[in-house]
Amino acid sequence: MSVIELSDVSRAFTVRSREGFRRTKREVRAVDGLSFTVEPGEVVGYIGPNGAGKSTTIKMLTGILVPSGGTIRVAGVDPSRNRVQLAKRIGVVFGQRTTLWWDLPLKDSFAVLQKMYGVPPARHRANLATFVELLDLGDLLDVPVRQLSLGQRMRGDIAAALLHDPDIVYLDEPTIGLDVISKARLREFLAQINADRKTTVILTTHDLDDIEALCTRVMVIDHGRQIFDGTLPTLRASQQAPRTLVVDLATSLPPLQVPGATVTKVTGPRQHLTFPPTTSAAPLVAHIAATYPLVDLTVAEPTIESIITQLYTPPEAD
Amino acid sequence: MGVYWAIGIRSFRRFSTYRIATASGAFTNTVFGFILCGVYLSLWQARPGLGGYDTADALTFVWLQQGLLMPIGLFGASTTVELGERVRSGAIAVDLYRPTQLLLWWLSMDLGRAMFQLLARGGAPLLVGALVFDLKFPADPQRWPAIALGIVLGILVSFGFRYLVALSGFWLTDSRGTEYLALWLSLFFSGMVMPLVVFPGWFGEFARATPWAATMQVPIDIWLGRNPGGTGAALLFQLGWCVVLLLIGQLLTLLATRKVVIAGG
């Protein structure tokens, strides 16, 4: 059974503006006809540009916003009608906000959470021990939260969101502002929790490396509508993004003449050539090697960023 | 209930981390105590028995007032100010994810704060005042439970009002104007400027019937044994305002939640 089900969900906001004495009301559809299901244990990347409707969707999934139309079921219940009951089964992390007690040691926040969610003491101790080990929180438990670095605080926030064994966690930009090592560590932890506990993870992010590292499935939303839902390889294949051949020559030359490929950039002896994803690189390489003083070359697959950018910008305006 | 107790304890601990602020606050209260004593001494010398207080009553009022000011939160308290900020910034949405009642959460926070400030700041000015002036202390040991209850009810009434002010941010784009107005109403009608007993006629009656009278004037009168209708009636008066304000608070919480959930903030 699906753990999250959305069927034709939409959410409109009324925007009031005033010009002189005239008041105007305008309806903005933040989410428009969204339908999808998520199975238990899936790790779903939920991505889209700013204002696409990501946060609105998450708010509806947690029950703090009712949809204007359509139906939502999360863990078998209607979120907005069972908000408090559902709160015990979900965990939420906002990268830019903290739920920890600012002036108190980290362990105090965890103690309050244990009472808040009614976690049996033995279970709480076991969970805490696991998270302390995996997230390396041992030395931080007695440190007031305001003295923690951003990366340390985020580890604390993630542990806080998972202490009550939620079925589903929503992570809203959990790696924002973190350095490369902290990011990698957090991703490793999330992957492990998902593997061990079958926790369903919904991840919204602008950092596509998060998606590459964690997500088995990607959903792309823009202007409140879903424009892609599938695996990362499918996403790559679905877009006709060109591949790139980077050629290092013995000397600087004018742009190369290669049938089936075009030079897009020349920097000294290095030249970048793009070619369609349907073409094989082998004949191009053979031609270049035979005609020019080739020293080295690499073939670059399109980055996920370039694919997403292509998705966000429709080929023609309608 | 365990969670609210846990929150209260953490809030108490949180305020106990601001040691220098606490010490300097108590010092300020003591300085103001001396200034007010100068004013009240000359006033009661010119008008003995003003408002039914003798000079010792008036001086005791000053030192109790300086000790109760922070615990009751007459200048506003950082807990409810923080709540107001969360409403303004929209961070309040995070609070709604929690499986707890918003009003009880913040009430626990405020009680933890008040208890710390009562212990850390309530006694110091009174002690200094008692060393310098001849103050009144309740002779009858049975009065102590009534005093304690009166102070707790005073804190609850004050919280009830401050909570409403903080929630007003859900309907007003900027609730700071409301907070400012509320601050002045609270300072005047709680007896901060003058004990409410000195105001004559209908204005005095009105001032002594407001919820702010229930925050500080009434508990101090219980200490002094000066409640016009007796201690029992005074406690009932406080309890009445406490129930009214907390019920309105709960009602507004439901309306605010519905507004956020349905209109989107």
For chain A, the structural domain boundaries read: 4-237, 242-301
Question: In the sheet where A43-47 sits, what is the strand order?
Answer: A90-94, A168-172, A200-204, A43-47, A217-222, A225-230
Nearest C-alpha of chain A: how many angstroms from B160? 23
Give the C-alpha separation, B180 to B162, whole Å: 11
> A4-237 has which fold?
Rossmann fold (3.40.50)
pLDDT band at B49 (very low <50, low <70, confident <90, very high): very high
List pLDDT tens digits, range B184-204: 999 999 998 899 999 999 999
Tally of residues, chain A:
318
On chain B, the residues whose CB falls within 8 A of the CB of A11 are 264
Q: Which of B2, B10, B260 sits opposite A104 (nearest CB)?
A: B10
pLDDT band at B252 (very low <50, low <70, confident <90, very high): very high
Is any Cβ of chain B less than 8 angstroms from the Cβ of A240? no
Interface of A with B in 52-81 (CB under 8 A): 56, 59, 62-66, 80
Nearest C-alpha of chain A: how many angstroms from B156? 23
CA-nearest of A124, A56, A215 to B2 is A124
CA dihedral A272, A274, A280, A284 (to 10 degrees): -50
CB B32, CB B66: distance < 8 Å: yes
A-chain residue closest to B89, CA distance: A97
Average pLDDT, chain B: 92
* Percentage of residues of chain B with pLDDT beyond 70: 99
Q: Which of A64, A115, A116 sits opposite B93 (nearest CB)?
A: A64
Give the helix, strand, coil percentages of chain B, each rounded to 5: 80, 0, 20
On chain B, the residues whose CB falls within 8 A of the CB of A92 are 94, 97
Q: Which of B10, B18, B97 sits opposite A62 (nearest CB)?
A: B97
Q: What pLDDT score was predicted for residue A55?
A: 85
Is any Cβ of chain B less than 8 angstroms from the Cβ of A115? yes
On chain A, the residues whose CB falls within 8 A of the CB of B89 are none
CA-nearest of B82, B73, B81, B51 to B121 is B73
pLDDT score of B257 more than 50: yes
Quick check: B91 and A103 CB within 8 A?
no
CB B148, CB B231: distance < 8 Å: no
Q: Which of A66, A84, A85 sits opposite B262 (nearest CB)?
A: A66
pTM of the model: 0.86
Amino acid at A199: T
Helical pair B143-167 and B78-89, crossing angle rounded to 10 deg? 20
User: Could you tell me the maximum CA-CA distance found in chain A, to the nearest angstrom?
Assistant: 75
- Residue identified by tokens 């002045």 is B184
Give the C-alpha separation, A298 to A167, whole Å: 44
Is any Cβ of chain B less than 8 angstroms from the Cβ of A206? no
Give the C-alpha separation, A72 to A88, whole Å: 18
B-chain residue closest to A119, CA distance: B3
What is the mean predicted confidence (pLDDT) over B209-222? 96
Is any Cβ of chain B less than 8 angstroms from the Cβ of A12? no
Quick check: B264 and A13 CB within 8 A?
yes
Give the C-alpha separation, A91 to A171, whole Å: 8
Quick check: A59 and B10 CB within 8 A?
no
What is the mean predicted confidence (pLDDT) over B145-161? 97
Q: What pLDDT score was predicted for residue A256?
A: 87
Quick check: B97 and A11 CB within 8 A?
no
- Global ipTM: 0.85
Can you give the pLDDT of all 318 residues of chain A as single tens digits? 899 999 999 999 888 777 777 778 888 889 999 999 999 999 999 988 888 888 889 989 998 889 999 999 999 999 988 888 899 999 998 877 888 988 999 999 999 999 999 999 999 999 999 999 989 899 999 999 999 998 899 999 999 999 999 999 999 888 888 888 888 988 999 999 999 999 999 999 888 888 888 998 999 998 899 989 998 888 877 777 778 889 999 888 889 888 888 898 888 899 999 888 778 888 888 899 888 998 998 888 777 777 777 777 765 544
Nearest C-alpha of chain B: how many angstroms from A63? 8
A-chain residue closest to B101, CA distance: A84
Quick check: A116 and B98 CB within 8 A?
yes
What is the mean predicted confidence (pLDDT) over B155-163? 97
Is any Cβ of chain B less than 8 angstroms from the Cβ of A92? yes
On chain B, the residues whose CB falls within 8 A of the CB of A97 are 91, 94
